[in-house]
Amino acid sequence: MEEEEKKILLEIGNLQTELLEESINCNGYAYRRNARLLSKKVLDLNNEFQPNYLTISDIEKLNQTTSEQGERIAAKYEEVNRRNSPQIRKTELMTKINSANKMISDDIFSLLQIVREVESKK
């Protein structure tokens, strides 16, 4: 594995961590941005290195999930920040973020295993 590939894998790991942290921060716009960046990094990794641990199907599922979930979370975030918004909406946002994180992790499970291996060898 080349150093540049490892670097991209570490960036993907960092973006995944940022997505997980958004369930605490509850910023829908940041979540959408990071989801898009994650999808773009995975596509960049595939375009540059064509790794055998990443399939076109994985990339397509990730792209669809990050696009759809990012938009849903940003919309819910806008709803939460409206004046007089009930507290339950913030709980709903956190639930949506946690659900989206699980879907994204499932979409790129094998890639995240490689990322963890690279992180452990740092």
pLDDT tens digits for range 36-84 = 999 999 999 999 999 988 889 989 999 999 999 999 999 999 998 888 8
Residue that the structure tokens 């960036």 belong to = 11
Tokens of 60: 């397509």
Q: Which helix (H) or strand (E) holds 121?
A: none
So what's the pLDDT on residue 42?
Answer: 95
Q: Is residue 42 within 8 Å of residue 59, measured between CB atoms?
A: yes
**How much is the pTM?**
0.86
CA distance 92 to 69: 14
What class, spelled out in words, does domain 3-120 have in CATH?
mainly alpha
**Domain ranges, ordered by start, for the chain:** 3-120
